[in-house]
Amino acid sequence: MGLRSFVCAGLALVSSLCLTAHSANAATVIHRGNASEPDTLDPHLASGTWENNIIGDLFLGLTTDDINARPIPGVAESWTTSADGLTWTFKFRKGLVWSDGVPIKASDAAFGIRRVLDPKTAAKYASILYVVANAEEVNKGEKPIAELGLRAIDGLTLEIKLNQPAPFLPGLLTHYTSFPLPEHVISKHADDWTKPGIMVSSGPYTLAEWQPHDQIKLVKNPKFYDAANVAIDEVYFYPIEDERSALTRFRSGEIDGNFTNRGFPVDQIAWLKENMPGQAHIHPYLANEYVVMNMRRKPYDDPRIRRAIALAINREIYTEKVYRDGRVPAYAFVPPGIDNYTSGPSVDFVNWPMEKRKEEAKRLLAEAGYGPNNPLTFDYKHMTGFDPRRAAAAITAMWRDVGITAKPLPNEPKVHYNTIQEFDFDVAMAAWVGDYNDPQTFLYLLEGSAGPFNYGGYDNPVYNDLMSKAKQTLDLKQRAQIMAQAEQVALNDTAIAPLDFPAAKLLVGNHVKGYSDNIVIIHRTRWMRIKR
């Protein structure tokens, strides 16, 4: 062997050894498609499912989501409830620390709940925690924060007092608004606390980098109490708003899955089943989709206008011909199959033939002063994407049949929801994903106190009183009946126009293990692993 050959062989051996060592120590990585660019990663300022996907990997609540999105112990290892259901006491796990090594204390949980309910925080989601004693009054500035119904009894014990029985509380506390937050970091860095390099977290991952409109990278948190059972080292989230782009990137191997309810275009279902079997996941979803009309503006404060808009929609064509993805027509607001509820509420025209609905819509429009020479005209705001554009075209065509002129106006998801939360619309598409498995997660949206999530501004004292009564009812059957009465009131008022109960459409690579379909589409990376 010549010198040159010997040197080359030696270099090849070193290179091979280096590659072997690198392979042995290579990080396990998952690339996740996400529906939109987050506005924020602050749990108290977030409001989108695309933000929840990331925040839930960074932080742990008093309770947290298991692989099936059911509540299990989180920061709290156990809890007890008083006989009247109004006092809950949570015992924290011993030895928990933030990712910077500072102990996690019960006072961090108290700090977090006080912060989200502080009117200065202006949290969109504050009303979800109005079950806490005095929470609504504190959030509206009517009572001081000190009167909130919670206290850290000691470093490892938190007491929460409620103003109503809440059997769904363990599920509610998986929601990011209630997460314990690092007071020692927020008090020092204020609004900058969520930046990479500053943020500290309690969950299985920490924030490594955020490249806006490109990617967010999380890395495994070695100080997480269950780090030994977290198999994936790095998580990349990509804001992919278009279903076709998501499918293209999935097919090319750029992403391991698109874990959102807009995972792929519906016209590709047959192709996916044939060419990528087992990777297109379609299943029931604890969600609704509806048209909302801004009652703060004329003429949408007129129930005749709202009813005409609702009557003109052919939900069967909308679901069976436009979407064709397993979703079902909706004639109510609360999705079927939800816990702690009863069937029954529906719009009164559920069994009317479509021609009768159209004639009634035309009659109501004429009665309200609209017709061929003076058509009701509005922009219909909806989200971007291949399927939402098709759906908007279909629904505006249905309105055209009764003399309504509606112009589709698309926007990216976060802009769309920011717009309707600021009430800057006439008529818009809206959807809601259950934050926990109980009808209150949907019905509270129509309460006068629901803030920015009551998009249309519906505020009926009868509805509000029934919901208040339900909140004070400990018997689950009686509570369900009262809430059903409230839902019927809202449907009679056409507070919203139900469209459908969606089906989830996700893309998940066969090499992604530890994934389980669930009705709220919460899939924490903590439970996943990669096996090719």
Q: How confident is the model at residue 86 (pLDDT cuts 50, 70, 90)?
A: very high
Task: Provide the 3-class DSSP secondary structure of residue 28.
Answer: coil
Which CATH architecture best describes the domain 27-59+194-283+504-532? 3-Layer(aba) Sandwich (3.40)
pLDDT of residue 266: 86
Is 1 a residue whose pLDDT tops 70? Answer: no
Helix ranges, 59-122 (H):
106-117
pLDDT of residue 262: 79
516, 330 contact by CB (below 8 A): no
Q: How confident is the model at residue 5 (pLDDT cuts 50, 70, 90)?
A: very low
Structure tokens belonging to residue 25:
């120590």
pLDDT of residue 18: 39
Q: How far apart are CA 329 and CA 182, in angstroms?
A: 44
Give percent of the chain above pLDDT 90.
84
Q: Name the average pLDDT for the chain.
A: 93
Task: Provide the 3-class DSSP secondary structure of residue 125.
Answer: coil
- pTM exceeds cut of 0.85: no
Q: How far apart are CA 212 and CA 189, in angstroms?
A: 21
232, 528 contact by CB (below 8 A): yes
Domain ranges across the chain: 27-59+194-283+504-532, 60-180, 287-501
Q: How far apart are CA 483 and CA 345, in angstroms?
A: 10
Residue 415 to residues 157, 212, 409, 434: CA-CA distances in angstroms?
40, 15, 12, 21
Is 4 a residue whose pLDDT tops 80? Answer: no
The CATH code that applies to domain 287-501 is 3.10.105.10
Is 23 a residue whose pLDDT tops 80? Answer: no
pLDDT of residue 21: 39
Q: How confident is the model at residue 25 (pLDDT cuts 50, 70, 90)?
A: low
- Looking at the domain 60-180, which fold is it? Dipeptide-binding Protein; domain 1 (3.90.76)
- Write the DSSP assignment of 314-341 as a string of letters: -HHHIIIIII-SS-EE-SSSSPTT-SS-
Q: Which amino acid is at 104?
A: I
Cis preceding linkage at 335, omega within 30:
no
As a whole number, mean pLDDT of residues 272-278 equals 96
pLDDT in tens, 411-462: 998 899 999 999 999 999 999 999 888 999 999 999 998 989 999 999 999 9
Estimate the crossing angle of helix 243-251 against helix 386-400, to 10 degrees: 150
Q: How far apart are CA 309 and CA 442, in angstroms?
A: 22
As a whole number, mean pLDDT of residues 469-497 equals 95
